[in-house]
Structure formats: structure tokens, C-alpha cells
Amino acid sequence: MTRHTKKNLIYFAGAIILFLLGMSLFIINKPLKIRNYVKVRMGTFVEIVLKGDNPEAAQTAFDEIARLEEIFSSYKPDSEVSRISKNAGIRPVKVSGDVIEVLEAALKISIATDGAFDPTIGAVTKLWDFSKVGGMNTEEGKLTVDSPIPTREALARNLPLVNYRKISINKNASTVMLDKKGMTLNLGGVAKGYIVRKAFLKMQEEHDVNWAVIRAGGDMTVFHDPKSKLEVEKSKDPLTVGIQHPRKKSIIVGMLELTPYDESFSTRAASSISTSGDYERFFIRDEKRYHHILDPRTGMPAGNSQSATILSRDPILADALSTSVFILGEEKGMALIEATDGVEGVIINKDGVVSVSSGLTDIYKPHN
């Protein structure tokens, strides 16, 4: 069953890529002459796809990802993000322009979602432990571990520390401060998109790379400089994307036939697809699913969706909105998609019902 609304279709730059199966998004079409480079970064497999043989460019991108991970990681004690949290309620912390840029983007989304997305959610994420769990390992996706569930008392104690309005940014001094002691910054829901964009720009700057695909976990971005001359003729075929069934790993619930490269894109165009789902990291306790996408307003796993897929020209926006829309659920999430320029999406609600934004209604095909 599919529900539709109305909005103009957005177009996606790209080419026809064949990816390995196993993540949230699958690409199904004829491959170009490309090379894939894969390493573990940001706690997941990062795949970089380039035209021809170019290991030096791929390594440059991986090095840039590693550099930015040292800045944004909440798990590295000396990262800029960790230092901001350590000094919460004490003093401002000098930070790089990278942190300020990502924080400003995060705060815009926090405002747009009325706090459904909140970069200070770290105060409640630290109460959960999803480190021992993985994604679905059976067709039913059931996984049982001994991870603790926070008590009501612990949540009541830490929830007041989740408040994006208590972040103070001083661009002139290049400082950031969390206003209340105990607040904890976590940019995991937005930094990935920024990092992959910077990785492409680094390859473009140092190796004259004008086309690349970077895939990190459930996120995929096609980068292309429209002003460059492609060695490979632009494909007239659509870019076909399959959306994974949230409960059956080997099943695709629907297909999107996206328009390939479009001349109206600005320089250094990017086309991003990001999926958030309750099947990525979770455990089952007393037949109830506890997953890692927490609602900042309750401190508990969001219960309105099984998955949310966002399509956008901006990888930062796609990354953050897939999380936000998942938390908001079908009605409010789709309203946000329809109200945001250059964004489309597919939501699978808690009952498994698929909703498609109006710009995708003509190209979304249920997969029976």
C-alpha cells in the first residue's frame, strides 16, 4: 500500500553504478568503467567509486575522512566535539571552521524540526549501549543481547541536558560552548554528509577528480562538476535505486528510477540519498525492538517509523533529514519533506506502510 502527495520532481546528477548488495540502498543498472575502493571509516564501510584507476585520489579522500573523524568523533577524547562536551557549562572551546559549519547546519535542522533533531542528544545516547549489537542477522531481524535499558530516573535526569538552544557559537572568536554542565554534543546525525562532501572536494583539488560516488553505511552521494568534460558519455538511462525492506534483508520494497545528470546543476553538484532505519543497530527485549535512533524529546528509540529515505542535492541535509524524518514519523515527516526545497523522500511507517513524496510518485515502483 502506497500513499502519495504532490510536489515537483527534483533531478539527480550521476551515472549508472552497480553497488554491492547489503546496505539500505541498492543501485541496479549497467556499470561504467569504474574502480571501487573500500576502507573502514566513521565506524562503517566507506566505499569510494572513481572512473578508471586512481588509488592516490581514493587515498586522499580516505585521509581527509580520517582527519575529519578526529575532529567530529564523540568517542575520541581529544576530538573537538569531545572537548566541547568536557567544557560544557565551564568555558568556550576554540574550534575549527569545520565544527562551526556543521553546527550551524545542525541548528537550522533542529529549528525546522522543533527539536526532533538535536545535536546535544549525547546526554541520553550515553545511557544506551548499542556497541554489542549489529543489523538484522535473520530474515525476521531478531537479535537478543544483554544491553541495558535506561531507567526512568536516568532519563529524567539527563533529558534536561538535551537542548539545542543552549549551544553558543561565536564565529568571530571561533568558539563553541554548551551552556549547561553535563550537556554532551553528538554530531553523528549530520557530520557524515559534511565529511564525504569534503572528501570529494579534496580529491577535486589535489587530483582533478570531477566525478565520484562516496557511500558510507546507508548514505550514498554522487558528486560531479558539471563544468568539466566527462571522459565517459553521459548516460541517458535512469539511475535505479532499490529501497531495502526493513524486516527482510534480501528483499527490496520499491524502486526509484532517478533522472541522471542534469545540466541545470550548479558547479560541484552532489546528489545524495540517505536512509535511517530501525534495523541498522538494535536488540529485542521482551519482543520489543530497541534501536539506536533516539528521539531527543523522550530519550527512547523513536517508534513512528521502520525506515526513512531522503534524496537531496546536499549530503548534509540528506544525512540529517533521514534521521529527523524517521523520528517525526509519516505525517509530520512527510510534511517536512514537502516543505523543504530540493528534498524528496520515502517513509515506511511503523506498520510497514510506504509513503512517497509527491516528486517521486511517478518514478517510485513497488517491488512485489
Percent of the chain with pLDDT over 70: 79
Residues of the chain where predicted confidence (pLDDT) is lower than 70: 1-32, 132-146, 225-239, 258-270, 368
Residues 74-122: tens digit of each pLDDT: 999 999 999 999 999 999 999 999 999 999 999 999 999 999 999 999 9
CA dihedral angle for residue 264, residue 266, residue 271, residue 272, rounded to 10 degrees: -140
Residue type for 252, please? Answer: I
pLDDT of residue 240: 75
Residues 204-232: tens digit of each pLDDT: 999 999 889 899 987 888 887 666 545 44
pLDDT of residue 30: 44
Q: Which helix (H) or strand (E) holds 55?
A: helix 55-72
Integer Cα distance of 141 and 131 in angstroms: 17
Domain-wise residue ranges, the chain:
2-366
Looking from the CA of 333 toward its CB, the CA atoms found within 13 Å total: 34
Taking domain 2-366, whether its CATH number is 3.10.520.10 is answered by yes
